[in-house]
Structure 1
Amino acid sequence: MHAHGGGRVRARSLGVVIGALPTGPLNAITDVNGVLVGHTTVDDGADLRTGVTAIVPERLAEGGLPAAVHTGNGYGKLVGSTQVDELGVLESPVVLTATLSVFRAADAVLTYLMGRRPDGVSFNPLVGETNDGFLSDIRRRPITERHVLDALEGASGGLPAEGCVGAGTGTTALGFKAGVGTSSRRVTAGGSEATVGALAQANFGGVLTVRGVPVPVEEVVPGVRRPEPPGNSCMIVVATDAPLDARRLGRLARRAVFAMGRVGASYAQGSGDYAIAFSTAPPGVPAVPDAALDPLFAAVMDAVEEALLNSLFMATTTTGFAGRTAHAVPYDRRFLG
């Protein structure tokens, strides 16, 4: 059984407003001009609850983008991260999937890149993962090249689907069913307007906290015990049109991982928590000086917090592998707006 739809809504529709900064028009990572998102969902109604989510910056066609990866906890399989660390350049779309499917997904991204750059001699796919094994049979490694190419080739602007979709189909977080969520903020930094967008694949432990109020699953879902494992890992992708070099993007990426703490993350030993940040600003524009980064830091923290809440609030109760069930967050007025 897998509940679809069910009237699930985003955090703001429930009165949960994070911070004072305005959002972009869609309140999504796609508010950053030229950033596209695509999903492929693999859901057989039983043992497979998984998929692929692709974040595709259109400007990659002109060459690499300034980028950085921050490793909050390195218990994960983020393919391609060391070259981004070394060179400060993103060469590929960012693809997210399930732990044991990450290597097949990386090979599929290689196919995608080779098809677009027939003269290229080396490529660095960037593919991240979380372990959706609580609800999906990860050992079957069901993700194929076609699934990845469909997510990449189908990526578009507009509001991305959230909750139990793509790489979030089988994830759990903070004791509840989670998934993919996104959000954005508009700020003025260094004298110019900028947009910061975040997309998160949420699959980590802790106690859900909504604007400072703890929401333990065992207290709000009668008769339910906290699932074990309660989720492990979080992938966060941050995009901005602010002109930033790789070093400054690394500072943004760190704040993205910090923001997990606001929603109650436990930062467990086995949780691979990563943030990837990139800038779509045209080359040659002077970078925002360090002394003017505070508005961007605030934007990242708020956007990631809201993206994580959206990943939970948009998810539906799901029963998957081995009959295990993860419950959706109830819309309880005690902790909502």
Structure 2
Amino acid sequence: MLSRTAANLFWMARYLERSETTARLLDLGFRNALLPNAGGGFRNEWSAILQSKGTLQQFTDKYGDLVQRNAESFLFFDLENPSSVASCITAARENARIVRTALTSQVWDAINVSYQELKALTRRERSSLEVPELTDWTLRTAALIRGAIETTQLRNDGYRFMNLGYAVERADNTARLLDVKYYVLLPSVAYVGSGLDNYQWTTLLRALSAHRAYNWAYGGELSAAQIAHFLILNPKFPRSLLSCSIEANEHLDHLGRIYGRSSPAQEAARKLLGELAEARIEDVFDEGLHEFLTRMISENAGLGQCISDQYLTGEAR
């Protein structure tokens, strides 16, 4: 496969996953903003979310004061924000259009229809659009496209590059969502274990579509250690860092067999997987959850760069 084709498929999947995560962050901010302001005037849900996406300064430069309605518009509609839902779906559709012949008609139709529906949403009065409607639409769209990929795409190298994009992006996003809650969102350690703390944990799990799965796995008792274990080290949860790492390794190993050679990307992925597989949640908290997540985000970005250097630049692979 030509490296430029692989790159388009890889980034198509990353943008689709990113659009879903931005919608989940939008839902997280919306739900937390519904909580009565009992934290001594503390109110930083939206700044925390924008900070996690690395777009707080861009938002401030454009909109000034942090107003909820502007934050919602910035995260969903603003094409000047490269992480907005609209920007990500537009970019995913453009990548898909370039390699349309590498996609089944069902996958292309799902992506193209989502883009047309997005354009219809942008033409509606913003006052008629509520955040739950926008986030539900995004999650349904993402599930529809992913379903089309899983049920119609040939299991060839193109399929592997798409799923690599999903795995790398999902790991980054899970780490950022968890970091928003644990390090940025809670106003003070004095609130740990409080009603505010538990509400935010529940909201985080719901934003990740993980609330019921968490209850199945841990019996419903909320604790920072158990939720962190669930989102980082539980291989049964598909959005955990460990699960994403397992998936990335699987697809890189398939590519190694397809192309008849191993790659530095495989070595980087195995190193990351080995670290996560051997980690204990006690070790994570000893290091500091924020510090651990920051390091995981950096190492995951390094893996993405290895994949790019090995497969997504240059001539045919």
Q: Structure 2 length as normaliser, TM-score?
A: 0.28
Report which of the two has the higher share of strand: 1
Q: Please identify the structure whose Cα radius of gyration is greater.
A: 2
